[in-house]
Amino acid sequence: MSRHFILLFFISGILFGCGNKRLGYESDETDETQVEESIKDMDTVVPITEVDTVIDPQCEASKLSNNNSKKFDNGKICIHYPSSWEVVQQNARATDRTTIAVQIMQKYINDYDFRPNINVICSKDKHAESTSSLAKISFNQVKDSGLQTTLMGIKSCNLGGCKGSVAEYIVDIENYKLHIFQYIVKKEDNTTITITATLDHSNLNKQRTVANDIIDAIIIY
């Protein structure tokens, strides 16, 4: 198993290692001012454009060709992905309070190409904190682990029919850069779901297009 594959689980699941950490009972209806305030104390912040995904309520394959895509649906989340990707883990326990609903990854090519992947993690906890605060906690935990990180920004988003926040940041591991898009969204009952896309920074444009197509088609039931 490559060091990059191991790291993906670490980055995607790190938020819920702090399940007992409380920041207060903030409203989750954050506007741009609240979100920007939540990241003022972070290092190396670069503003990014607003992220607002468009969801097809019938869980169609979005921009993915129906003849060239597969579907994962466990009754809680529906996600389409291209045939060049595969499910590498599903319905697996990450911690006592969290479940990796699914992890999809580009199929193995060779020993040198990084395999972009998307993780969906569900928490049993009903987090009262705003999603922007949860995104900040998640990023800070990655940063505090000793990894070299650069936060690009935290913005509001709408994903899978749920409102939330998306943090974009870069992780540098021995001069190898991973580009992370971590969406944290809540259902009406405060059930928290984290969708993390981990991409190769040097091949970002191509990999982000595919990742966006997958994320655009997600439905959260």
Torsion of CA 18, 20, 25, 27, to 10 degrees: 40
Residue 128: the pLDDT is: 87
Query: Higher-confidence residue: 85 or 93?
Result: 85
Q: Kindly state the average pLDDT of the residues 154-169.
A: 94
Contact 87, 72 (CB under 8 A): yes
Residue percentage of the chain with pLDDT more than 70 = 70
Cα dihedral 115, 98, 188, 133 sign = negative
Query: What is the predicted pLDDT for the residue at 4?
Result: 46
